[in-house]
Structure 1
């Protein structure tokens, strides 16, 4: 996969965070004795080295989305670094070589409990409904967690959001939501 200059810069920033974390952990360890102020200082050091790890996870997952779309549709116009992680609007917007529009949402959510926690479920349903009503030829919900994928394949989600394809980025498994959907098998 070819990377844009912005994607390369973002990857190098993640590499720098990895180096900063490794360096910090080589010089600092959580002491055996529980001293909250010392433990807090240690945890702040880890947090400082990592910055917003959630955005980094989402960015790397977006690189996998890009590769998926290149392999499946031959897209050439998508830059994973083109939109800040967490920005409003659709996470993924691309066009096929023949001009068909692709939209997608990326979820790095791990279900808080089976079927998602209440706030997780509300947020995911909101994204799915937005996708289902988007003007696009292809609509995707990309997920990084296998439990999230399995949950999204259940009729409670699939029946509400026809036409959306759920893709588990790490296994490549897909599931097309339809009104008469039968949930995907448990893996």
Structure 2
């Protein structure tokens, strides 16, 4: 674990070992094998995933499926970086499924929501987050910006995992001006 830094001081990697490139230490998490990366990512996102699904399940379990429940589900999805358009589409599809299949219990709706989310991710029609490789002539850079506390670093880790699963090579760089631990968080989620 790196030593704590005083606020306002830039992060600098530890001195490199003789005959070792300084960047090698910063990127050591890419040296792990694929299974280690999968396990590490699953462990890192488990608390977040459990909290997220727990919030959704508690909303569905606590009341009838009225408009207030749908609005609260929409709010949970949007506040969890799902995106407004995607959240609205998920809610509309879920409402239609509830009506078509006559789902009544929160458990049934929750299972239907999980199936819908997985289907959306696995869909062959899902848009790729990666540019057409024939158009890429050099590194493909994604810059994430936003206000504090909205999940940028977590989203970056999710994107990195997605691209790694597609066989892409990923390098993460932290440029957080207010939070000294951004690089460490990326390494933990890494």
> If the TM-score is normalised by the length of the shorter chain, which range does it land in?
under 0.3
Computing the radius of gyration from Cα coordinates, the structure with the larger value is: 2
Larger proportion of helix:
2
Which structure has more RCO (C-alpha within 8 Å, separation ≥ 6)?
2
The two structures have a TM-score, normalised by structure 1, of 0.25
TM-score (norm 2): 0.25
